[in-house]
Structure 1
Amino acid sequence: MNQHPHTYPKLHNAAWPGVVGKGDDDENPVISLVEILDLTAAAEVDGRKFDGVDIFLSEPHISIDATDEDLEQVAEEVRSRGLDIGTVVAPVWTPTGGGSAAGGPEEVEAFLTQVRKGCEIGRKLRQLGVRPHGVVRIDSATPTAQWFEDPEKNQSTIADTFKAACDIAEEYDERLAAEGEICWGGMHSWKAMVDLLEKVGHPERLGFQADMAHTLLYLLGYNAPEDAILPRDFDWQNEEKKTEALRELTHALRPWTIDFHVAQNDATVHGTGSHDKTGRHCLPNDPNGKLNIPVDAAHWLRDEHGDVLQVCKHICWDGCMFPNDVMHQPETWNDILSAMLSVQDAHGWN
């Protein structure tokens, strides 16, 4: 019997860990897209390999202003390694040409310009035959401190901005996924995230991207203590209580979930700059990891009756801010692929 009987959801690696948190010191320079592709393509477990990559539309990987020729070259680099492209991340933040979705007219316009460019690249990659599925990832690009200055007004403005982003996505036949990461205002708690999705009210164009590392911190209410499901000093040995908490969380957010990140987290916050107080990504076998990856993924990938959902045609590993010496080790990617396979084995289909 085939020990890995399923072919879906497809298994993707993320390219952005080569860029996020890199370049600040000599030991951890940016890892090029080509090198990330090589590391991804080289991984192998039980004869299985990664099916694709999710990419970051930001230099030095891929410019948000990439030409058709640039994108053809990217498509060839990916295809030549037997990989596909899935989700693309639009750089909606201020340093990369965007602006806060809760900002003034100029910032909102900059935000929406990046969404449009991201959707356009997504469509071109589909037309090049290298992107069979995936979404365009966004967030509010609004620091939590800014959001809390006027929660009601800022939430309303973000919703209006996201509605305009949905109109853009419709032009390109793309779907947007808002990432559940606690460092972004309006998305900093699970209740705020649900409220925002409901205010936008376009599930056919805007859904939720669940990252197992980030959503674990929703349970603890780091940036919204009033929305905590578990106490900050929770005993993670209590599997029954953890399961109950994950059920409550995913009951609210799973209906909106259209993109999924497999990840590990030690239930501490970590971040730099605008990514303050965000989920620490750990290696899948980290002894401090609080997630049983294939078991806890079930809350997102199966419905209330335990039936497998086939919403996410691919799932992606997300592990940001690992040191380069860890990322350059082949066993790192084999361990990650093994964790991905465990999720596919438990919740996959053909």
Structure 2
Amino acid sequence: MSRRLLNIAQERKTTLNDLRLNAAGTLVTGSAVIKGILSEPAGFNASVTTTVFQVESLISSLPLDLLREHGLEFLKTSEVGGPIKLVSLRISGNPDREQPVTVQGEVELLGDHAVIGSKRVPLSEVRGLLRFDTDRIGIERLTGKYGEAQAISGRGEISHLTEAPELYLAVKGIVSAPELAAIVARFAPPPVLPNGPGGLSGLAGEAGATVLLAGSLEHLEDLDVEWELDARAIGFADPRVGFPLSQVYGKVHSISHGIAFEQMTGLLGKTALTVNGNIRYPQQEKILYDFTAAGRGDANELLIMLGGAVPATTIVDGTTEFKASLSGPADLLRVTGNLDLTQTGVVSGDGWGKVKGVTSDAEFALHLISPNRVRLDRVFFE
């Protein structure tokens, strides 16, 4: 072939317009351009879109070995399903380039579902936009439900698709108090909620939630998870505490093997308090509590909390301010602190007492052995 004919062959291209294909219940439409079909190397460009189709029909058609090779086996094991739409797909190829084939496109999620993790937690009503570019998928405008927790916005990416896919995802949402109890029961050590969420009553309120997920898609159980909750009027009753908690506000966030509480405010019975501290659950060890609390409350109620009961022959009224620290394992919590008894009035059956308005303080140390058993180690009045 002469040089002139070779140049003509290299410059010639074939254009395919209005391509239509029915496959797996969806209509695929698009166009393609093939360049240099009579010579080497040849190049091509193609662009397609689809109508809405069920993603499970696509996944079921893919060989398991292919998914496993790219770390995407979870698409089958997680029962992924629901409607999606291929908004656009652009494929181009040129063997002369460092990246011989490039793929770009957008997929719209239209209310999909799956189950994830060893607990088989359901994901539902998942909507969002996936933007993919050869070795990366961007995740935008993600919404949906995790169990009954509502995700209101999320974004992230899946990188290294052709090697070992890595996920990074940031999600914001809203969690109701009952669902929050279910999540705690699902993942925290059993002693945190030994009777599950059913062990709590009067659950009310909600929390704003922020969750960060990062790690390999090949090992979903080992994803790094960081989270933070912004409590809004949370309330519940736990028989281990003895008094209901209500109107709880503040920050709670994850730490290594535990949970941290920052400026949590609320009511314990009638007592207003502010709490800071953490609960840690080291592997193979007892759960450890470490808290500081301060507040003001009904004097009679506070004495019941500290001493378990007030003698029937003793009358206590007024208010008491307090500061206390609580630490140790759940079955032997040590509590130390002091009480400002200035606005507390006490009258005992044998005639002694204290009038409200007289400056008085008390320091104490005790152990909470169980909800109904307190060991008073020391008390000092001034």
TM-score (norm: length of structure 2) = 0.20
Q: Which structure is higher in RCO with an 8 Å CA cutoff and minimum separation 6?
A: 1
Larger strand fraction of residues: 2
Greater gyration radius: 2
